[in-house]
Amino acid sequence: MMHLAPGDPAIRAAGGTEATPEAIASARHRLGLDQPLMLQYLQWLSGIVRGDLGTSLFSSQTVSDALMARLPINISLTAGAMVVAIGLAIPAGVVAAIRAGGIIDRMLMAMTTAGIAMPSFLIGLTGIYLFAIVLPWFPALGYVPLSESLWGWGHHLILPWLALGFASGAEIARHMRSAFIDVLEQDYIVSAFASGLPRLVVYAKHALKNAAVPVVTSIGLQVGQLLGGSVIVETIFSMRGLGSLAIRSVVDRDFPMIQGIALISALIVIAVNLVTDLSYSYFNPKIRTS
Amino acid sequence: MSAKSSSTYRYRYLPLLVMVLMIVSSCQAGNGEDAPAVEAGSDADEAEEADETPEGEGDSGQDEPDELGYLRFADLGGVDTLDPDRSIGGNQLPPLLLTYDRLIHVDPSTGTLVPGLAESWSFASGDELILELRENVQFHDGVSFNAEAVLANLERSNTLEGRSGVVEAAMGSIGEVEAIDELTVRIVKDPDASNLAWSLIESQLGENVGMMISPEAIESADLDSQPVGAGMMTVEAFSPGEQVDYVAFDDYWDSEALRLSGMEWTFINDSRTRFNAVLAGEVDLTFIEPGDIPEAEEAGLDIAVETGLEVVQVFLNHSMPPLDDANVRRALQVSVDRAGIVEGLTFGTGEPTTQIFPPNYEGFNDEYGSDYYEFDPDRAMQLLEESGSTDINLSMFVINRPRDIQLGEAVQAGLQQAGIDLEVVPIEAARAGEYLDGEAHMILGRRGRLDALAVLDLSFATDGGWNPGGTNTEAIQGLLAEAASLPEGEERWQVIRQLSGEIAEEGLVLPLFASGTPWAQSGCVDGFEPSLVNWHTFRGVSVASDC
């Protein structure tokens, strides 16, 4: 698809718009872009089989190195954002479901609507202004690898986690609420209450696990999206994740890099979906036995 | 209580503790907490003093600080390779200047060529350039710099597969290269090269091909990411397109220039993120959007607005009808409200001009001034009537970024008043070359190079790389040839000024304004003067070590 889009990476590789037609042709040949598209694709596929994702058209950096350098950032972002999201969403969804139709439910649902409607970049920019500029508690940008410093890692990620976590949390909370309401209407829950079990036990032990399946599906989708790149949050916090690499590669028409990102993103989505599907059998043993 | 629940009980406050510690550590963190500082007065002071300070952004006579500070600079763009022969030049080149010293330097504040690794140079005849090289210069790997190193470098520039277009163009004018003695090199013009191409040789030795790589590292496959030059800093870490980390090279020959312990050169393309970074004290120096100046001043940042050589202009494909008609081109010139654009879109930081050179440049023609074409839509319509052109529909490429699109729309609005229908087509930068294929009548861009002839050659020579159709007037063609035949000096400048006036007369491009760049810094940076062409070498720049 990218080959069909306008724009010629050979021009940039040859020196930009000031390059001579001969230099552009030479660069096109050197990069292998003058070969038939199908041949280029087959060469890429044969590289994949050998674990070689190719090299950037504009630097000597291999696609694998570029992806491996960025993946930890997206994993860190996603893991923390999900902790924030789940930490907010599960209690909020459960409380809203228990108090369905009441004032607390309406307030919580209004907050989740705002959370979904409010773009993560707005939360991020507000966070930067309040907690990095006005109150210089957290860094405004950058990333410190976990291997370098645990504190630096967490310190740099708190604001991005909050920016991403609120929106995801709002969506998960709504799923949690509706699933929990459904479960509370089931006969076995009514029986549990009737048998005199404490409410907390009924909610935590009998209702929560059974309400988890749609919530886990929602979490899986969120994780897949965030791991594949959260471009805007990466941009405003100047984090060099997969999203910003994807944008740059598309703008530059760096075909091997784009293909590598597409491949890794697809693998991530497949892996997350697999884990999500497997988790269903834990939350609902009927799925396993069927 | 079971063992499991006991363990859970014991660690129940752990998450809270982690949060508290993070907040405490964030409160303790100061600016530049990771910035290394080294003692001054090491080997750098022992390096041989140069006969003259070749290039400096700051006052080299300032008091010696006790400790050298660390500079964090946020730039736009992103560098893909640190190999000077593969670098495509332009905004990809500046990060290389710190680690690769060049044969000829450029004074960033005046744009004049000054000695670098070549202490002096002269034209023995019109076709021979003699370089006298500097003594006692070492590459980062300890190898000595000499004439053989220059020969090895030029040979690499000439033969490297995958060299960039700018290197190929520069080497096209170089024929034989010879070492006369250990510190003297003779470069002979290629017999097939034009005078115009050869006239650029001095400035080209201040760019890619003038960057000297250690001869021992020259065959290294890692020069893309691990440069070995003779510049004032070595590269400690490089992440393509993202960041370059440097540390000072203690054996650098010009100890006066080196006043930093190291530097972080990071690329942040989002202007708001760059601004937030300097507001939060996480970078020391960056440039900001003109609209952010009031907020920056309110926050106590030091702001300096510098008008460089860059002129924002609309390039016209004057081989395409109706732009092959001079009256139509002149109609465009008077349709644009340059002062309004400067006031409205650059918040007054630019300077309107109707010439291809900014008013502060030697090549600017005072007779034509900055307002040769006054904004006058009625005059535009009159010119169109005279040319017999009606129903004019034009297309203009603009790079897909907010500021350029706004500029494109401002030009579009002006032309509309004169009855010209302009379609603004946002494109990604990778598609800019389509303008050369005649896919649009015009393209909005910026141009500003130290060498006036290079600018003129590119856009106006019949074989110029940015002259689609290769058309030109005889007068301009003659003046270009005349300028190329003259040695560097006032006589050549006179011809260049004539050229600037003639180009304005013919309306071959649509200049809008000389671009002003607002620089913001935390107040810790001393000695920084914006470069005329945004080629910052940070020579003589220091950062207070307690910042």
Which of B19, B24, B88, B437 would best serve as a mutation to test chain A binding (most A beta carbons within 10 A)? B88
Alpha-carbon torsion (A61, B160, B167, B534), positive or negative: positive
**Are B291 and B98 within 8 A, CB to CB?**
no
Q: What is the mean pLDDT of residues B416-435?
A: 88
Task: Give percent above pLDDT 90 in chain A.
Answer: 28
Q: A105: helix, coil or strand?
A: helix
With a cut of 90, say whether residue B262 has pLDDT above it.
yes
Name residue B393's beta-bridge partners.
Answer: B421
Over chain B, what is the mean pLDDT?
84
With a cut of 50, say whether residue B53 has pLDDT above it.
no
User: If DSSP states are collapsed to H, E and C, what string results for A159-213?
Assistant: HHHHHHHHHHHHHHHHHHHHHHHHHHCCHHHHHHHHCCCCHHHHHHHHHCCCCHH
**Predicted local distance difference test score (pLDDT) of residue B531:** 77
State the ipTM, two decimals: 0.76
**Predicted local distance difference test score (pLDDT) of residue B183:** 94
Q: Which residues of B509-547 are buried (b: 16+ CB within 10 A; e: fewer)?
A: bbbbbbbbbbbbbbebbbbbbbbbbbbbbbbbbbbebeb
Asked if A69 and B268 come within 8 Å (Cβ–Cβ), the reply is: no
Task: Give percent above pLDDT 90 in chain B.
Answer: 47
The packing angle between helices A150-184 and A103-117, to 10°, is 130
Q: What are phi and psi of B351, to 5 degrees?
A: -135, 115
Asked if B23 and A151 come within 8 Å (Cβ–Cβ), the reply is: no
Per the structure block, which two tokens stand in for B261? 């312990």
**Are B361 and B448 within 8 A, CB to CB?**
no
Indicate the helix (H) or strand (E) that contains B239: strand B233-239
**Predicted local distance difference test score (pLDDT) of residue B380:** 92
Q: Which residues of A223-232 are buried (b: 16+ CB within 10 A; e: fewer)?
A: bbbbbbbbbb
**Interval B86-122: pLDDT, tens:** 888 877 889 999 999 999 998 877 778 899 999 999 9
Out of B239, B240, B277, the one facing A56 most closely (by C-beta) is: B240
**Predicted local distance difference test score (pLDDT) of residue B26:** 42
Q: How many helices (H) and strands (E) does chain B have?
A: 17, 20
Out of A16, A59, A138, the one facing B81 most closely (by C-beta) is: A59
**Predicted local distance difference test score (pLDDT) of residue A136:** 87
pLDDT band at B331 (very low <50, low <70, confident <90, very high): very high
With a cut of 70, say whether residue A279 has pLDDT above it.
yes
Q: How far is residue B240's CA from residue B78's CA, in Å, rounded to a whole number?
A: 7
**Are B69 and B544 within 8 A, CB to CB?**
yes
With a cut of 80, say whether residue B348 has pLDDT above it.
yes
Alpha helices, DSSP H, located in B370-448: 377-387, 402-417
Over chain A, what is the mean pLDDT?
86
Asked if B239 and A9 come within 8 Å (Cβ–Cβ), the reply is: no
The residue of chain A with its CA nearest to that of B271 is: A236
Looking at the complex, report in whole angstroms how far the Cα of residue A17 sits from the nearest Cα belonging to chain B: 6
B311's CB contacts (< 8 A; 6+ apart) are: B353, B355, B356, B357, B358, B446, B447, B448, B511, B512, B513, B514, B515
Q: What is the mean pLDDT of residues B360-374?
A: 90
Of residues B7 and B335, more confidently modeled: B335
Q: How far is residue A225's CA from residue A212's CA, in Å, rounded to a whole number?
A: 20
Q: For residue A6, which residues of chain B lie inside 8 Å, CB to CB?
A: 427, 431, 434
**Predicted local distance difference test score (pLDDT) of residue B426:** 92
Per the structure block, which two tokens stand in for A47? 């590289």
Out of A13, A138, A252, the one facing B26 most closely (by C-beta) is: A138
Q: How far is residue B244's CA from residue B96's CA, in Å, rounded to a whole number?
A: 10
Q: B36: helix, coil or strand?
A: coil
**Interval A88-140: pLDDT, tens:** 999 999 999 998 888 999 999 999 998 888 888 888 999 999 999 888 899 98
**Predicted local distance difference test score (pLDDT) of residue A16:** 65
With a cut of 60, say whether residue B11 has pLDDT above it.
no
E strand residue ranges, B160-210: 174-181, 184-189
Asked if B273 and A141 come within 8 Å (Cβ–Cβ), the reply is: yes
Per the structure block, which two tokens stand in for A258? 């784009």
Of residues B380 and A13, more confidently modeled: B380
The four Cα atoms B398, B401, B402, B405 give a dihedral, to 10 degrees, of 10
Q: How many CA atoms lie within 13 A of B96 on its CB side?
A: 33
**Interval A221-273: pLDDT, tens:** 888 877 765 888 888 898 888 888 888 888 888 889 999 999 998 898 899 88
**Predicted local distance difference test score (pLDDT) of residue B228:** 95
A101's CB contacts (< 8 A; 6+ apart) are: none
Q: What is the mean pLDDT of residues A279-284?
A: 83
Asked if A60 and B276 come within 8 Å (Cβ–Cβ), the reply is: no
Q: How many residues does chain A have?
A: 290
**Predicted local distance difference test score (pLDDT) of residue A29:** 82
With a cut of 70, say whether residue B167 has pLDDT above it.
yes
The answer, yes or no, to whether the previous bond of B215 is cis (omega within 30 of 0) is no
One-letter amino acid at B138 equals Q
With a cut of 90, say whether residue B533 has pLDDT above it.
no
Q: How many residues does chain B have?
A: 547
User: What pTM does this model have?
Assistant: 0.77
**Predicted local distance difference test score (pLDDT) of residue B40:** 37
